[in-house]
Amino acid sequence: KQEVTQIPAALSVPEGENLVLNCSFTDSAIYNLQWFRQDPGKGLTSLLLIQSSQREQTSGRLNASLDKSSGRSTLYIAASQPGDSATYLCAPQMNRDDKIIFGKGTRLHILP
Amino acid sequence: DAMVIQNPRYQVTQFGKPVTLSCSQTLNHNVMYWYQQKSSQAPKLLFHYYDKDFNNEADTPDNFQSRRPNTSFCFLDIRSPGLGDAAMYLCATSRRARVSNEKLFFGSGTQLSVL
């Protein structure tokens, strides 16, 4: 059974800093891994999708990497802004049954 | 804009009173998912559809049922809600199954309260 762990559970950093969020998963038989953003009381928005054959994806100030063999992914946020405050969740999609399994997320707070 | 729409945004029901949550999509996606998310927890998959092919998770209680009458609509029925069913219910879609580059699109969720 796929287990997804995100570290840290919560993070507060001053505006302007670069930061890294970590995700680990136990089963490497995945199609892809997505990083999502969730604002309080809202649904999830897909930020980046990395296919299993890829090593990284970039979108603006966001860069996600994937090391499938070691079961790890990171989300790098450059020059953080208060608007980046949200919960970030990672979710690998399994090969065998298409299920998308979520971690609990990292609650990020950017201090103005 | 094409989107995933969940109604209602907030739903209050009484203990044991059946409730239905709805999800519609204008994306014409084949796959639809229902997730349950409790406070500070990971979204938990309840079931999903490939077109009309229904896939139930082994640990989804029998109390939870789903219907997908057509491509655009999907419903979550909770037959006898208990206090432990209070949660955010999230509907999501993806265009195709069994491919590596399809993103998941979520609705805004329905926050269910059980009194």
- pLDDT tens-place string over residues B77-107: 999 999 999 999 999 999 876 666 788 899 9
pLDDT tens string B12-61? 999 999 999 999 999 999 999 999 999 989 999 999 999 999 999 999 99
Among the listed residues B47, B105, B111, the one whose alpha carbon sits nearest the alpha carbon of residue B76: B47
On whether the CB atoms of residues B12 and B113 are closer than 8 A, the answer is: yes
Q: Say how far apart CA A66 and CA A52 lie, in whole Å.
A: 8
CB contacts of A45 in chain B (<8 Å) are 106
Residue B101's alpha-carbon distances to A19, A48, B95, B96, B109, in angstroms, are: 26, 10, 10, 9, 24
Restricting to B residues 42-61, those with a Cβ less than 8 Å away from any Cβ of A are: 42-45, 48, 50, 55
Q: Residue A26 has which token pair?
A: 């136990």
State yes or no: cis peptide before B69, omega within 30 of 0: no
Residue A67's alpha-carbon distances to A4, A33, A51, A59, A93, in angstroms, are: 14, 10, 11, 18, 14
CB contacts of B101 in chain A (<8 Å) are 32, 49, 51
Q: Does A89 touch chain B (CB under 8 A)?
A: yes
